[in-house]
């Protein structure tokens, strides 16, 4: 992925004020899984949204044929990104965005209630209304039922509704889909997801973007310190 820098009129306007854009470097995605990580405010979700919209997804998520808008808040970053495409076209696509998955669930219900529709969309999610499941269960219905393999899946904080045990289950399902020819681009705060063995981790910071090993990430360092010596950490936090 490249930035069409020549089209940007000003870097003083959001989202071009983000460090990842100001110091943009061409991104080479891992053929299996690319994780985009970083502190809040570094632009993970904005960058992922730009990637997803540039690929033809609805900004709020869903399949490529999902066309709805609950609140138009996405940036125009997609117009300034150039994403290369290989000779093999994915047979499945999905953009899962934690903050707007409720809107996706509502859209699925609306389509299924339309008598002119061609079939129940919810059946591709396992047949149970996404609104009649917990947030975590509805996420898992997408991973287990809707994702079919040979796909391109863009996920924004998929761990948001998942317990640690469910995150491990997500890793298992992700690995199945990778072996079925799928590619993932994931924005996450979860060190458990970052630990997937076939991954490229790209960390966003004030200096831009850097590729990191899991053990080099700030997320891993903080969690390691917390579990190995939380007494000392609490001493400095609460003094």
The model's pLDDT over 39-97, given as tens digits with 9 standing for 90+, comes to 998 999 999 999 999 999 988 888 887 776 665 667 899 999 999 988 888 999 999 88
Alpha-carbon radius of gyration of the chain: 19
| The pLDDT value given to residue 64 | 81
Domains of the chain as residue ranges with CATH: 2-238 (3.40.50)
- Distance, in Å, from the CA atom of 104 to the CA atom of 45, rounded to the nearest integer, reads 17
The model's pLDDT over 163-175, given as tens digits with 9 standing for 90+, comes to 999 999 999 999 9
The model's pLDDT over 12-21, given as tens digits with 9 standing for 90+, comes to 999 999 999 9
| The pLDDT value given to residue 114 | 67
- Distance, in Å, from the CA atom of 67 to the CA atom of 107, rounded to the nearest integer, reads 9
Which range, of 121-135, 183-197, 224-238, averages the lowest pLDDT?
A: 121-135
pLDDT-derived band at 119 (thresholds 50, 70, 90) equals low
| pLDDT exceeds cutoff 60 at 226 | yes
Q: Which residue has the tokens 């300034």?
A: 80
| The pLDDT value given to residue 35 | 97
| pLDDT exceeds cutoff 60 at 117 | no
| pLDDT exceeds cutoff 60 at 187 | yes
| The pLDDT value given to residue 127 | 66
- Distance, in Å, from the CA atom of 191 to the CA atom of 203, rounded to the nearest integer, reads 12
| The pLDDT value given to residue 71 | 57
pTM, 2 dp: 0.87
The DSSP bridge partners found for residue 211 are: 202
């Amino acid at each position: 992925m490249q930035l069409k820098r020549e089209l940007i009129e000003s870097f003083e306007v959001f989202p071009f004020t983000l460090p990842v854009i100001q110091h943009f470097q061409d991104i080479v995605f891992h053929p299996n899984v690319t994780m985009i990580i970083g502190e809040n405010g570094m632009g993970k979700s904005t960058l992922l949204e730009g990637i997803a919209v540039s690929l033809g997804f609805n900004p709020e998520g869903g399949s490529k044929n999902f066309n709805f808008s609950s609140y138009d808040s996405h940036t125009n970053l997609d117009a300034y990104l150039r994403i290369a495409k290989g000779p093999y076209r994915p047979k499945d696509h999905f953009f899962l965005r934690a903050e707007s998955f409720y809107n996706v669930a509502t859209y699925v219900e609306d389509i299924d209630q339309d008598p002119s529709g061609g079939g129940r969309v919810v059946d591709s999610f396992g047949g149970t209304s996404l609104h009649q499941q917990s947030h975590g269960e509805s996420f898992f219905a997408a991973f287990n039922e809707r994702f079919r393999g040979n796909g391109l899946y863009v996920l924004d904080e998929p761990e948001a509704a998942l317990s640690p045990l469910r995150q491990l289950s997500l890793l298992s399902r992700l690995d199945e889909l990778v072996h079925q020819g799928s590619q993932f681009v994931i924005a996450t705060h979860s060190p458990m997801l970052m630990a997937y063995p076939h991954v490229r981790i790209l960390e966003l910071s004030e200096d831009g973007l850097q590729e990191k090993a899991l053990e080099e990430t700030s997320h891993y360092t903080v969690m390691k310190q917390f579990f190995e010596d939380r007494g000392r950490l609490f001493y400095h936090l609460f003094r």
